[in-house]
Homo-oligomer: A and B are copies of this chain.
């Protein structure tokens, strides 16, 4: 048995996962506030033990633990995280002070890609990308059947400039893809369109949902609102631009799109994306045009991928 841990912005989740990648049980706890990496490692290890106990598995039967971190990791060290006070800390070693089993750290987007590659949208695909749309844009790159991490921080696709000199990104660059094509980017454009079109159905939909979110535009477009239809098209072009960049660079066989925005109706997101990929990929000159699909596993991908990270890593 294995444990996969997903360190999210608000919750920590530990799942008991079997060798086939089935999640048997999951334990959750809020991230809470902590100032000390060693305490944090202990919380994670205790959560892992709790998940094992909940699944009726003795600690001695756990053969490995994987931890997905929202940041950069390298060989058991957390180098950097966006939201947690962990920098250059030996998290794996500290974890083993409470639960002494092999521990592997991974970036959270990488873990999700591994999960999808083993059990979801990328099953059996040798060159596969998972692109996740959220606050930013994350990705995990499965290249020649294994996870590519380079010197540790590969896959930061959100910080690929598509608009030279454009909008300032949190990373310090100008014109990063995620400023235009993340869920956050879409929400900002939705708000701008609402400002510009006071009579648009966008207002009605936002009121019904209680807020503007990543679904607002798609829902208003489905009800025929012209501003929303236009914005959906614009958003697909922004998202498609970066996807084709990735395809021209890496030429995967399949790209899966994850995150809440990916739940949008096929006709408003995946179908336009496929048209853009077919129109613009360099591979249209006689090569394989990659398939664009929805991710399948949602939040489970990160837990399964963390637990089975071993399988995807090239030694």
Contacts and interface: CB of A to CB of B under 8 A. Distances in A.
Q: From DSSP, what is the main secondary structure of chain A's interface residues? A: loop
A129 B299 CA distance: 34
Interface stretch (A3-11, A48-56, A150-158): A150-158
Interface of A: 72, 74, 79-80, 87-88, 127, 141, 143-144, 146, 148-157, 159-164, 166, 171-173, 180, 238, 241, 244-246, 248-253, 279-280, 282-283, 285-288, 290, 314
7 contacts: A80-B287, A141-B250, A152-B251, A153-B287, A157-B248, A171-B282, A172-B279
Contact of A248 (B146, B159, B286, B314): B159
Nearest to A77: B286
Q: How many copies does the complex hold?
A: 2
B160 A163 contact: no
Contacts of A87: 286
B159 A162 contact: no
Given A151-B290, A164-B238, A156 B282 contact: yes
Given A154-B251, A157-B248, A160-B249, 9 more contacts: A79-B287, A127-B150, A141-B250, A148-B250, A152-B287, A152-B288, A156-B251, A161-B245, A162-B162
A250 B150 CA distance: 6
